[in-house]
Each structure stands twice: as C-alpha cells, then as structure tokens.
C-alpha cells in the first residue's frame, strides 16, 4: 500500500525483530527503517566504545521509551528489581544529549514513546528528541502550545 499510494517517504518499517526487518527491507527497500532492539544495543555499545563513527547507520529512526517512565507507567519485566535495574541502566545509557545529537547528526530522528505527562514531554524535548509518541495528543498539543507561548514571550 505504501508504494501504491506513494507513501514510501512517510511510512516507517519498524519491528523489534531483526528477521522481520530483513523481510520488510526486502519487500520495499525504499521505506525508511527504525532500529530493532538488538541493533539499538549494538549502536549504543559502539557509541560508548567510540567506534560508531566507523559504522554505517542505514536506519533513519531511533524509537525508545523514556527510561524515567519505567515503574511508573511501563513495566517491561514481571519482577520489580528487574524493572528498577532496567530503568537505571537505560537511564544511564540513553538519556544523554550527546548521544541524541550524534544520532541526529548522522541523519537519525530520535523519538520517545509512552510519554503521557507534561514532565515526560519536558524531559524528552530537553534531551533534544525530534518528537514523542503519546496516548494523549491533546496533552501534547497543550504542552507544545505552552512552550511556543513561552518562547515567543522570551524573545520579546
């Protein structure tokens, strides 16, 4: 359908699994892709080892949950201590302006998902995220309007 309706440029292939992403790319290599979970781990490892400048990044989108929502609205594991560990490790690894800026400089848009509160929007945008995904688009619109008013008032 993306080809038929000329939507290749605005439709994104994304999946958690590498095997599915390979099939998607084979079906329509023109559509942009997002990182799989394992590819995300690999990219993070290369970034912290200082080797990422030597690796091509064909993906155009990095979708990630905001680590601060773990244990509040998102529970990836069934036991509490694993969620706490996951939140701590991902907060340390992902919530860095330098990482987000580096990915953006390489042509990757960074978007956080599962954000439903103004404080979460604030954190994501202060890190430099290109966008957020939310279950409450009206709350996001309200936040963005408020930011626009604040920005226009400060420029006067």
Q: What is the pLDDT of residues 46-63, one digit of tens each?
A: 999 999 999 999 999 999
Dist. CA 128–CA 126, nearest whole Å: 5
pLDDT-based confidence at residue 102 (cuts at 50, 70, 90): very high
Dist. CA 61–CA 106, nearest whole Å: 11
**Positive or negative: CA dihedral 86, 89, 94, 96:** positive
Burial class (CB in 10 A: 0-12, 13-18, 19+), 79: exposed
Residues 91-116, mean pLDDT to the nearest whole number: 94
What's the gap between Cα 118 and its chain centre? 17
Q: Helix, strand or coil for residue 136?
A: coil
Q: Which pTM does this prediction carry?
A: 0.84
């Amino acid at each position: 359908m993306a080809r038929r309706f000329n939507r290749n440029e605005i439709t994104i292939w994304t999946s958690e699994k590498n095997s599915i992403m390979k099939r998607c790319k084979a079906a329509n290599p023109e559509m942009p892709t997002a990182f799989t979970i394992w590819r995300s781990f690999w990219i993070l490892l290369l970034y912290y080892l200082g080797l990422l400048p030597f690796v091509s990044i064909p993906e155009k989108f990095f979708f990630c949950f905001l680590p601060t929502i773990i244990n509040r609205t998102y529970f990836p594991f069934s036991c509490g201590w694993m969620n706490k560990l996951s939140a701590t490790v991902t907060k340390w690894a992902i919530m860095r302006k330098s990482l987000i800026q580096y990915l953006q400089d390489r042509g990757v848009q960074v978007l956080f998902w599962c954000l439903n509160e103004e404080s979460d929007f604030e954190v994501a945008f202060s890190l430099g995220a290109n966008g957020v995904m939310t279950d409450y688009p009206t709350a996001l619109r309200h936040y963005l309007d408020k930011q626009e008013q604040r920005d226009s008032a400060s420029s006067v």
